[in-house]
Amino acid sequence: MASTLEDVARLAGVSRSTVSRVVNDHPNVRSETRDRVRQAICNSGYQPHAVARSLATNRTHIIGIVIPEAVTTLFDDPFFPLLLRGATEACNMHDYHLMLSLFAASADQQEMYQHFLRNGYLDGVLVASAPLKDPVVPSLLRDHLPFISVGRHPDEQVHYVDVDNIGGARMAVEYLIRLGHRRIATITGPLDTMPGQDRLEGYRQTLEAHRVPAKEELIVEGDFTENSGRVGMQRLLSASPSAVFAASDVMAIGALKTLREVGLQVPQDVALVGFDDVPIASVVEPALTTVRQPIDRLGWMATEVLLSVIEDSLELEGETPTHRIILPTELVVRASCSSV
Amino acid sequence: MASTLEDVARLAGVSRSTVSRVVNDHPNVRSETRDRVRQAICNSGYQPHAVARSLATNRTHIIGIVIPEAVTTLFDDPFFPLLLRGATEACNMHDYHLMLSLFAASADQQEMYQHFLRNGYLDGVLVASAPLKDPVVPSLLRDHLPFISVGRHPDEQVHYVDVDNIGGARMAVEYLIRLGHRRIATITGPLDTMPGQDRLEGYRQTLEAHRVPAKEELIVEGDFTENSGRVGMQRLLSASPSAVFAASDVMAIGALKTLREVGLQVPQDVALVGFDDVPIASVVEPALTTVRQPIDRLGWMATEVLLSVIEDSLELEGETPTHRIILPTELVVRASCSSV
DNA sequence: TTGTAAGCGTTATCAT
DNA sequence: ATGATAACGCTTACAA
């Protein structure tokens, strides 16, 4: 059915090496021959067989992207599609393909990882928002499979790209302080994740910079869900903050509902800032002031870096420096904060 | 580095055929030998080389999923992640991998298609929400690559899985009629897409079934975007409908904003029904009555059918019947409709 | 500049 | 039950 190098060679009256050279744009082939071969390729509708090529070159031009199911579950959040969009864009540019893997946090997760990561198809892997303790990173290091983490990672050897969570949180709290707030509370993300930690860190840094003592009763831990925003706000009530920085929009909306229930007005009684800038943020009443992150650029950048790491891993065996890239975030001012 | 069949064979003192048999669970191998080989496999940490295997078997266990960029752009809509979630779940169950492709509607789109579809890596393809006129379907038919369409397709030979758009629209309009409405308008989806057509068809069928004449001034075409909902509603205003069926939640929200601007109350002055049940639908004021579709099941089902089509394409060369599956939709009643 | 031939790591057919 | 051996379609020294 499908024609092979051999067929084309016969058609053009040359050897298959020559055809291979033409296909791969090798310089050393007479232009007359080249034309003849090109013609034959056209006539036969030849398409190189990627699998065979991979076997010979030991390169597939496929990268994997693994995303823990948990992230996918936040369907209010376009994080996932935006990330993929950026990643595919970069892949298209470099003639790479993207293999997708979502994992349910189940017992056989570990086995799945292995199955996916060492399936022999992958030139490299993009690991998105893995929890800090996730076994996938050590596993990849052990296998010497080129990979990059989307999200900061403490390990010295791990390449990563991330958005500036600390800076974003800083901007948010900074903004509240500029509005005159001093009793600023925060509902944090899960503190076993990097974004959770970083957004809290930004909060702390800003208070410190302005010599506002960080009171522990103004800090409650959430887990990025709406419900954790609700209960977080409930627990915060007794500390009567004048402003709340929620580490995610979804939690901010939870907090908003709690505030409404107890008859407090946003922004008049309590100012509210979120993080992420999900679509709902602009729809909710009042529209939410929040921190926007360039997710698609994150996916794009991560892929670009991964591909360069893959190239490097072929060229020089020596250790290349670890790539660590932080993309800027942006404060989006809407209606959920007023000055004190 | 990585060990091969050959290595294992040497370790176990057998030929590589035997090792291959053990790996593939062939029956004809003495259990003693089998154990010895198993041991050797363990010791060497052998992992079969998927690419080599594919070359030999002409099967990759990879399926592609192509999604036009347009769909991805609707980031308010978790269609895309939900579909992928269903698809990956099915893939995981059957030891298949999923290769992703998003396309910008650009000039080189056609070329990209080819690059992705005939790259030789794919055992089959899942085509999601391609526009009716999209060249990808004819292209796949020509190449004899097994594929399934997510979304109804008129071609006799095309396997598809879809949600019941007609039935969903019927339920919505039926509900409005039961509430006593007679002047029911609709803002349709783009009429060059199947969901656009089908949701309009459901609207028409229901009116007819209840002998309510379908007035053309009560029908305006939208394109699923919020803005088209806004302007659609504006044009509808002069026809003063008592109820509006918008073919998507996002358009319904656009319509809602228009109604608010002209001082009409939902549901008191105008009842409003959407379609999709996106997250925003339950957040908006008033919460939107809408039609829910089982997107993740859609992705799951489509994958299951595709895999069976792939199997069939190997077994019998004869034409198998075309698979056509419609998954039920569900009316979600919230606060945006009241009786007339 | 072009051709020959040896891999790449499997599977599968055929003897034994 | 096991072992040679020929594919699978391509790349890539090495020869010519």
Cβ neighbours for A161, distance < 8 A, ≥ 6 positions apart: A148, A149, A150, A298, A301, A302, A305, A323, A325, A326, A327
Peptide bond into A286 cis (omega under 30): yes
Which of residues 48 through 67 in chain B touch A, CB cutoff 8 A?
Answer: 48-52, 54-55, 60, 62
Most confident of B81-85, B172-176, B312-316: B172-176
Instruction: Give strand pairing partners of B327.
Output: B163
Distance B118 CA to D5 C1' (A): 32
Q: How far apart are the first and last CA of chain A?
A: 75
Residue B316 pLDDT greater than 70, yes or no? no
Residue in A55, A84, A102 closest to B85 by CB:
A102
Average pLDDT over residues B213-238: 96
Which of residues 125 through 184 in chain A touch B, CB cutoff 8 A?
Answer: none
B165 neighbors B329 (Cβ within 8 angstroms)? yes
Q: Are B120 and A50 within 8 A, CB to CB?
A: yes
Contact B243/A at CB under 8 A: no
Please tell me which residue of chain A has the smallest CA distance to B278. A76
Q: Are B75 and A78 within 8 A, CB to CB?
A: yes
Residue B193 pLDDT greater than 80, yes or no? yes
Report the nearest residue to nucleotide C11, CA vs C1': B56
Backbone angles phi, psi at B328, to 5 degrees: -70, 150
Distance B56 CA to C5 C1' (A): 21
Cβ neighbours for B251, distance < 8 A, ≥ 6 positions apart: B187, B189, B222, B224, B225, B226, B228, B229, B232, B274
Tell me how far CA of residue B108 lies from CA of A86, B114, B115, B130, in angstroms. 18, 10, 10, 17
A83 neighbors A38 (Cβ within 8 angstroms)? no
What is the predicted pLDDT for the residue at A105? 61
Average pLDDT over residues A102-113: 70
Sort out which chain B residues have CB atoms less than 8 A from A121's CB and list them. 50-51, 60, 62, 97
Q: Could you read off the pLDDT of A13-63 as tens digits, one per residue?
A: 999 999 999 999 998 889 999 999 999 999 999 999 999 999 999 999 999
Contact A295/B at CB under 8 A: no
Distance from C-alpha of A334 to C-alpha of A338, rounded to nearest angstrom: 10
- CATH numbers and ranges of domains, chain A: 5-57 (1.10.260.40), 62-163+296-327 (3.40.50.2300), 165-293 (3.40.50.2300)
Distance B14 CA to D5 C1' (A): 16
What is the predicted pLDDT for the residue at B284? 87
Closest CA to A307 of A9, A97, A50: A97
Distance from C-alpha of A103 to C-alpha of B148, rounded to nearest angstrom: 24
What is the predicted pLDDT for the residue at A251? 96
Distance from C-alpha of B318 to C-alpha of B296, rounded to nearest angstrom: 31
- Four-point Cα dihedral B299, B301, B302, B304, nearest 10: 120
What is the pLDDT confidence band of residue A73, given thresholds at 50, 70 and 90?
Answer: low
Residue A329 pLDDT greater than 70, yes or no? yes
Q: Could you read off the pLDDT of B28-63 as tens digits, one per residue?
A: 889 999 999 999 999 999 999 999 999 999 999 999
Closest CA to B224 of B286, B276, B279: B276
Distance B52 CA to C16 C1' (A): 28
What is the predicted pLDDT for the residue at A130? 79
What is the predicted pLDDT for the residue at B72? 66
Mean pLDDT, chain A, as a whole number? 92
What is the predicted pLDDT for the residue at B201? 98
Residue B290 pLDDT greater than 90, yes or no? yes
Instruction: Name the nt closest to B37 by C-alpha to C1'.
Output: D2
Beta strands in chain B (DSSP E): 62-68, 97-103, 124-128, 147-150, 160-163, 184-188, 219-221, 243-246, 271-273, 290-292, 324-327, 330-332
Percent of chain B topping pLDDT 90: 76
Average pLDDT over residues B190-217: 96
Q: Could you read off the pLDDT of B116-125 as tens digits, one per residue?
A: 888 889 999 9
Tell me how far CA of residue A294 lies from CA of A88, A333, B44, B288, in angstroms. 15, 16, 44, 30
Residue A1 pLDDT greater than 70, yes or no? no
Tell me how far CA of residue B196 lies from CA of A280, B151, B191, B258, B324, in angstroms. 25, 11, 5, 22, 19
Residue A107 pLDDT greater than 60, yes or no? no
Backbone angles phi, psi at A145, to 5 degrees: -90, 125
Mean pLDDT, chain B, as a whole number? 92
Q: Give residue A323's region: left, alpha or beta (phi > 0; psi -120 to 50).
A: beta
Percent of chain B topping pLDDT 70: 95
Question: CB atoms < 10 A from the CB of A135, how many?
Answer: 12
Q: Are A48 and B284 within 8 A, CB to CB?
A: no
User: In the numeric block, which tokens belong to residue A47?
Assistant: 């398409």
Distance from C-alpha of A259 to C-alpha of A268, rounded to nearest angstrom: 11
Q: Could you read off the pLDDT of B80-109 as tens digits, one per residue?
A: 889 999 999 999 999 999 999 887 766 566
Beta strands in B222-267 (DSSP E): 243-246
Q: Which of residues 20-59 of B touch strand C (CB under 7 A)?
A: 20, 23-24, 46-49, 52-53, 55-57
Residue B340 pLDDT greater than 90, yes or no? no
Closest CA to B96 of B65, B64, B61: B61
Average pLDDT over residues A210-224: 96
What is the predicted pLDDT for the residue at A284? 87
Distance from C-alpha of B32 to C-alpha of B74, rounded to nearest angstrom: 59
Helices (H), B45-106: 50-57, 69-73, 79-93
